[in-house]
Amino acid sequence: MKNKVFFFLISFLFFIKANAQCAMCRAVLESEEGQTTAEGINNGIVYLMAIPYILVGGLGFFIYRKYFKLKKE
């Protein structure tokens, strides 16, 4: 159980620090002053990347929970 919690925390911390720009987007946005647009693009890309993982993870959790609930009965 401790290994699962540790793995989840490490995965979550790596997810928080993700920069998700492609090389072309980064080159265009770095030439701009202020960097607010670049931060907005990064946040949007990470948001779009995270939603499918959260949905699949939630579905997997409910299947896992249902499986073990049926096994106990």
Q: What is the pLDDT of residue 7?
A: 76
Overall average pLDDT of the 10-33 stretch: 67
pLDDT of residue 33 exceeding 80, the answer is no
**Mean pLDDT, residues 63-72 taken together:** 81
Q: At what angle do helices 23-30 and 36-72 cross, to 10 degrees?
A: 140
Q: How does DSSP classify residue 33?
A: S
Sequence-distant (6+) residues with CB within 8 A of 21 are 29, 38, 41, 42, 45
Checking if the pLDDT of 3 tops 90, the result is no
Q: How far apart are CA 37 and CA 25, in angstroms?
A: 11
d(CA 53, CA 4): 17
Q: What is the DSSP letter of 34?
A: S
